[in-house]
Chain A
Amino acid sequence: MSMGELDNISFSCSSLLCEETEACFSETGRQEEDGESQSVYLKCCDNEDYDEYIKKLVQRETDFGFKTNESFADYQNTSKSWLECARLDAIEWIFNTRKVFGFQIHTAYLSVIYFDRFLSKRSIDEGKLWAIRLLSVACLSLAAKMEECRVPPLSEFPIEDYHFENKVIQRMELLILSTLEWKMGSVTPFAYLHYFIHKLYAESNSNKELVSNAIELIMAMAKEISLVNQYRPSIIAAAAVFAASGNPLTSKAMEVKIDSISLWGSLENEQIVCCYKMMQELQMRKSKTPNFVVTSHFSAIHALENASAKTAGAAGTKRKLTFNQSDQNGLAKKICRSE
């Protein structure tokens, strides 16, 4: 940024507004999901500094490893299916526990980001489901410490099948912190939601529904793809807003809208389209299965992957990141119980 540019940024107070009451409000967590999403994500942020803020966030994404990472390939090769279903199990536990404690939705999402970032750098021996659970507990605890006003003591985390001493969880926390190099401020798609809705669907009357649909899609996507090295948070957010709008868009129409935000290059534009199509698949699956229990084989995503592989720099790792969850969906739990 040049001196001249800096002069143009009128640095108004509102850009540094700390949303104290709203964040704390949702923390009580007794609201329905819709109400919660309204209070957290529909902040009124329509000012000139907001563009600058969003640009900075997108820049920050690259600070958190959204680039090819060789070690990730190893992790993918070894016992992929075991890890996939263990991951799904972990996400289920994180999402459920979030509800129990009344944490904000993005706290749970942040936990999954930590989880994936951790496993992109270290591996867990096959079959050690207790280690996965320990990792889940520590990730959620850390995310809560970053995002929540009140964090329950470690002993209150509902770890049904295992018993971890507080000290053990604390050691795990430290292991995660150092593995992630203490960079705990990962950007989540939720940071962009309101901005994108405002930019893309300003005329829309049903913001409430749009937001809750988008949140649902973002959370559903967390189960489908690894949150490192595939789609950047801003891309997931943009795709979720498009998919949540309920009006199918052609690639052309979408590009026009994407260009209006002017945050990305052509590579990212294509990724938004791919991500959008994945989300459409998810919506279709959901409409077929009322409780959003995923049963259908998810082959379409692989087709999408192939289509996008040419354009993506991380083509080699990309496909591997897509979890084929259908066949082992229930397996993790079974193993878990039998241990």
Chain B
Amino acid sequence: MGDGNNTSGRGISANNTSSSGNSEKPEWLQQYNLLGKIGEGTYGLVFLARIKSPTNRGKCIAIKKFKQSKDGDGVSPTAIREIMLLREISHENVVKLVNVHINHADMSLYLAFDYAEYDLYEIIRHHRDKVNHAINQYTVKSLLWQLLNGLNYLHSNWIIHRDLKPSNILVMGEGDEQGVVKIADFGLARIYQAPLKPLSENGVVVTIWYRAPELLLGAKHYTSAVDMWAVGCIFAELLTLKPLFQGAEAKSTPNPFQLDQLDKIFKILGHPTLEKWPTLANLPHWQSDMQHIQAHKYDNAGLHSVVHLSPKSPAFDLLSKMLEYDPRKRITAAQALEHEYFRIEPMPGRNALVPSQPGEKIVNYPTRPVDQNTDFEGTTSIQPSQPVSGNAVAGNMGGAHAGRNGSVNRPMPPPPMQRMPQGMMAYNFPAQAGVGGGMNPGGISMQRNMAAAQAHQQQQLRRKDPGGMTGYPPQQKSRRL
């Protein structure tokens, strides 16, 4: 173990799980049976794999490979920030980072997450395109409750997600955690006062449909309220199966100003006024774009008619508080969890997919398609690849929402027989000092390292849940009007 002679991970294909492949695999990879590629996004690829070790045998893991940073830049800042953040957070409704692997040969980074079979993007799509039926109220409420619960945890720890959208909200498949929501993709998340680049400068296209109006209007300072706006949009989408504000993205503009997106918002929520939103006048694009926005008169078309809710219903009340224009008046995650909507029947539950009440029909959602022809390097082998554009695995799968083949069989690999490396060595450095190409550039003694790394393995993250918010709201008498 850790002798510095790890060979390259090149060309290890998903199909290559037979005897010949193992000798070429880097050690960390030998812990897994690779099943195939399940997603591709701005930051890299996501693979599905099974753990071989006896303790967790057969457990599914999503492995996100970071794209190599530009040569000469070293480890990418995005990777550092995302991993740092994931290392510090631990909550039932936030995706769990199981391991960080460094592929020594090319210094690429792989993150291993607990695998989640579903995501809200696929659940909504399935209802819209296949079931032709709204998502039942219990499921909507449970999904929303858990999403808010995870978000409340993040916000309590001064983390803003910044990129919430249905494909980043995962839902666990069969197992102990069936139907549990996991917030994923912290590629854009920020902790504490880490400096922020404007969203447009990150070089990634973030879906604008869930972007808060203050961001669209060029606010330089933004708050956790941007996440709550996105939750409002997602809530509406769960109810109607359609994105609430489906603006066309202006890709050419270098600034974050998205006129069409604002147009879509104003058409449904009405014209923002200084009375409702006093700081509006200070926002750069509000000032600079008199001609387009301010000249236009928007009627208050009425959100309730779009989402088919009675204006007096608690659901509508909650939704409209999430879609408050003024970020300072927008409801917080903590406040939303206290909202009456969650205190009336049906009560939210831990398994969002299976209603506690009998009689409700259980929907069988499609499992994620697996592209078996892509190796861990991301290169596709000669066989024709299945059209996979998975978007929502633990890692960021932003953007790609193209069609999918939902009928791919997941292969069950033969039970692995070879000896496992001791435990899961996350930080898998060779013990020898700086031999050419080795991982130790400084000739630095490593004796303590291995023990430290192993100790680290055992160490659970200690961050506590803020104020016992994981519990579900107590059963109360219905306060419905």
Binding site for B on A (CB under 8 A): 1-3, 5-6, 9, 11-21, 23-24, 27, 53, 56, 63, 71, 121-125, 128, 130-131, 134-135, 138, 141-142, 145-149, 151, 153-155, 164, 166-175, 177-179, 181-185, 191
Given A183-B87, A184-B84: A124 and B442 within 8 A (CB)?
yes
Q: Are A20 and B223 in contact (CB under 8 A)?
A: no
Q: Are B224 and A167 in contact (CB under 8 A)?
A: no
Given A27-B195, A171-B107, A185-B88: A18 and B222 within 8 A (CB)?
yes
Q: Residue B328 at the A interface, CB < 8 A?
A: yes
Interface of A, secondary structure class, is helix
Q: Residue B319 at the A interface, CB < 8 A?
A: no
Q: Of all chain A residues, which has the CB nearest B97?
A: A182
Chain B residues positioned under 8 Å from A5 (CB to CB) = 467
Q: Are A121 and B449 in contact (CB under 8 A)?
A: yes
Distance in Å: Cβ of B161 to nearest Cβ of chain A:
11
Q: Of all chain B residues, which has the CB nearest A75?
A: B448
Chain B residues positioned under 8 Å from A166 (CB to CB) = 71-74
Q: Specify which of A131, A145, A151 is in contact with B443 (CB 8 Å cutoff).
A: A131
Q: Are B440 and A56 in contact (CB under 8 A)?
A: no
Q: Are A6 and B469 in contact (CB under 8 A)?
A: yes
12 A-B residue pairs with CB within 8 Å: A1-B467, A6-B466, A16-B225, A17-B223, A71-B452, A121-B449, A146-B77, A154-B72, A171-B440, A171-B441, A178-B426, A181-B87
Q: Are B452 and A6 in contact (CB under 8 A)?
A: no
Q: Are A151 and B196 in contact (CB under 8 A)?
A: no
Chain B residues positioned under 8 Å from A124 (CB to CB) = 442-445
Given A154-B74, A166-B74: A122 and B449 within 8 A (CB)?
yes
Q: Specify which of A6, A63, A155, A172 is in contact with B72 (CB 8 Å cutoff).
A: A155
Given A181-B427, A185-B88: A2 and B75 within 8 A (CB)?
no
Chain B residues positioned under 8 Å from A177 (CB to CB) = 75, 80, 83
Q: Are A16 and B468 in contact (CB under 8 A)?
A: no
Q: How far is the CA of A122 from the CA of B443 in the complex (A)?
A: 11
Which of B185-193, B354-362, B396-404, B406-414 interfaces with chain A?
B185-193
Given A1-B464, A185-B88: A170 and B191 within 8 A (CB)?
no
Q: How far is the CA of A15 from the CA of B160 in the complex (A)?
A: 11
Q: Specify which of B80, B88, B444 is in contact with A123 (CB 8 Å cutoff).
A: B444
Chain B residues positioned under 8 Å from A142 (CB to CB) = 75, 80
Q: Are A175 and B440 in contact (CB under 8 A)?
A: yes
Q: How far is the CA of A13 from the CA of B443 in the complex (A)?
A: 48
Most buried by A among B88, B158, B446: B158
**Interface bits B144-184 vs A (CB < 8 Å: 1, else 0):** 00000000000111101000000000000000000000000
Chain A residues positioned under 8 Å from B102 (CB to CB) = 174, 178
Closest 6 CB pairs of A and B: A6-B467, A23-B195, A178-B427, A131-B442, A145-B77, A16-B224
Q: Of all chain B residues, which has the CB nearest A45?
A: B193
Chain B residues positioned under 8 Å from A171 (CB to CB) = 107, 439-441
Q: Are A185 and B192 in contact (CB under 8 A)?
A: yes
Chain A residues positioned under 8 Å from B198 (CB to CB) = 20
Q: Are B71 and A16 in contact (CB under 8 A)?
A: no
Q: Of all chain A residues, which has the CB nearest B469?
A: A6
Q: Residue B220 at the A interface, CB < 8 A?
A: yes
Q: How far is the CA of A2 from the CA of B464 in the complex (A)?
A: 11
Chain B residues positioned under 8 Å from A155 (CB to CB) = 72
Q: Residue B194 at the A interface, CB < 8 A?
A: yes
